[in-house]
Structure 1
Amino acid sequence: MPSELKEHAGRHYAVQFHYALPDDSWAVELSEAVATPYPWAEAPKASDHLPGAAFLVALVPDEDPDLEPTVRVYSPNERVIPYEIMQWFMEQVADQVERCRIAFEQGEPGAVE
């Protein structure tokens, strides 16, 4: 699953992409990144953080351009998301929406990563 990491005010966040088969949609997940296990940290080109448990998930339908993307909140506790991180996440979601719509127009639904 492809992911991107970003640091903000000493905290690490991750955006991860995967296909959510039950929803027939691409899922774009926002999580607080967790430290990489020690053995992995020694691997060449290994990241020092990995995506954690998602607390925001945007579902981007790729088979019907008339369906609206949605955002689900998964958090049993109150969570503060810095504006810069929320903006970064929503930019990732907007890019995924655009890729899905272009793929649909080209007759390739489900082919977007």
Structure 2
Amino acid sequence: MVFRHPDGDYAVTAVYSVRDDAWYLDLDLVAGQRTLATAIVPDEDPAREPTVCFSPDAGHVDIPHEVMRWFMHQVDEEIHASRA
């Protein structure tokens, strides 16, 4: 699944990993086709906490506050859906 930010410059790609029993949500810079941040949301074991990490391969990129809030909202929605 791909969710595009309203400004069109960023997108969230959500993929489920069966091996990890977790959803991976990637914040992507569309123009550069680069993943800037990844959120890992486990759904099988509620004791495992969600994690957000930034890609060291992306280099220094200024992510607008509104885009980061939008990404974290998508992560929060996935946490609620996975833990329901």
* Bucket of the pairwise TM-score, normalised by the shorter protein: 0.7 to 0.9
Amino acid aligned to 2:18: L
Distance (whole Å) between structure 1 residues aligned to residue 39 and residue 69 of structure 2: 13
Amino acid aligned to 1:34: A
Which stretches in structure 1 are left out of the alignment for 5+ residues? 36-51, 103-113
Q: Which residue of 2 aligns with 1:72?
A: 53
Kindly report the root-mean-square deviation, in angstroms, between the aligned alpha carbons of the 2 structures: 1.8
Q: Which residue of 2 aligns with 1:4?
A: 3
TM-score, structure 2 normalization: 0.87
Distance (whole Å) between structure 1 residues aligned to residue 82 and residue 21 of structure 2: 12
Q: Which has the larger radius of gyration?
A: 1
Distance (whole Å) between structure 2 residues aligned to residue 80 and residue 21 of structure 1: 32
Query: Counterparts in 2 of 1:1-113, with a 5 A limit?
Result: 2-8=1-7, 12-34=9-31, 52-76=33-57, 77-102=59-84
TM-score, structure 1 normalization: 0.66
List per-residue Cα deviations over 1:7-56 (Å, max 9, x = no partner).
Answer: 44xx6100110012343210011011139xxxxxxxxxxxxxxxx33120
Query: What is the percent sequence identity of the aligned residues?
Result: 35
Aligned partner of residue 56 in structure 2, secondary structure = coil
Distance (whole Å) between structure 2 residues aligned to residue 23 and residue 53 of structure 1: 23
Amino acid aligned to 2:27: L
Count of aligned pairs between the two proteins: 83
Which stretches in structure 2 are left out of the alignment for 5+ residues? none
